[in-house]
């Protein structure tokens, strides 16, 4: 295997991990919904709950930070692209590359600081202090893992942007992505 195909495999693997993180996040949103419904039912029957609210918060933290790589991969995050859409491909790609690099720096700092906090919580055995009182090792791991996944997805994006800056060509789009974009345009036009 040449180094070029190794890089291609690595980029595909990062994309696959980002995709899986999105699907897991979707399942956890469903699980959170079920847990909340269970808690409401118990309270309606006169029972108290101890763990449901806290677990739901932790699951939604997972969805937010771990699932962020999925949103980034599919360009589904909030962005303002009024200026960029009016620029030539090379200029737009260069501007996006600078923004991705700056974002990667911020993501790396957040990953580092949250990783240090996770390490401290793990070493000192911090617990939540609630009636359920789970160890904070698990929820504190969510942020550094999520930032690492987002950082990896930014690397994939930056590789594509460098290609666009060099060649001046638009982003390559798979048939599945093209179909998804076509369906989204049709949905918006139908509103």
Work out the mean pLDDT of the chain and round it to a whole number.
90
Give per-10-residue mean pLDDT for the chain (191 aa): 66 95 97 96 92 96 96 87 87 94 97 98 96 96 98 96 89 70 75 66
Q: Buried b vs exposed e over 63-80: b needs ≥16 C-beta within 10 Å? A: bebbbbbbbbbeeeeeee
CA dihedral 54, 58, 64, 70 (to 10 degrees): -140
Report the alpha-carbon distance of residue 159 to residue 150 in Å, rounded: 14
- At residue 7, the pLDDT reads 64
In the chain, the number of structural domains is 1
Containing structural domain, residue 124: 3-190
Per the DSSP assignment, residues forming a β-bridge with 127 are: 135
- At residue 110, the pLDDT reads 98
Shortest CA distance to 167 belongs to which of 93, 104, 101?
A: 93
pLDDT in tens, 99-134: 999 999 999 999 999 999 999 999 999 999 999 999
SS3 13: helix
Report the alpha-carbon distance of residue 96 to residue 90 in Å, rounded: 10
- At residue 181, the pLDDT reads 72
Q: Crossing angle of helices 137-167/52-65, nearest 10°?
A: 20
- At residue 46, the pLDDT reads 94
Whether the Cβ atoms of residue 92 and residue 170 lie closer than 8 Å to each other: no
- Cα 87 off chain centre by: 27
């Amino acid at each position: 295997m040449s180094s070029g195909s190794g890089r291609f495999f690595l980029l595909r693997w990062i994309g696959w991990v980002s995709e899986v993180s999105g699907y897991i996040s979707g399942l956890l949103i469903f699980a959170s919904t079920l847990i909340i419904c269970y808690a409401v039912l118990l309270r309606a029957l006169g029972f108290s709950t101890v763990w449901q609210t806290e677990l739901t918060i932790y699951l939604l933290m997972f969805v937010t930070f771990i699932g962020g790589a999925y949103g980034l991969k599919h360009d589904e995050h909030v962005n303002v692209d009024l200026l960029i859409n009016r620029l030539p491909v090379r200029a737009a790609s260069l501007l996006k590359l600078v923004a991705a690099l700056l974002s990667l720096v911020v993501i790396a700092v957040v990953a580092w600081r949250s990783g240090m906090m996770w390490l401290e919580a793990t070493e000192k055995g911090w617990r939540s202090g609630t009636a359920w009182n789970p160890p904070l090792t698990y929820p504190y791991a969510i942020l550094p893992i999520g930032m690492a996944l987002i950082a990896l997805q930014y690397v994939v994006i930056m590789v594509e942007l460098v290609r666009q800056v060099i060649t001046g060509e638009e982003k390559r789009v798979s048939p599945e992505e093209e179909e998804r974009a076509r369906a989204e345009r049709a949905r918006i036009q139908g509103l």
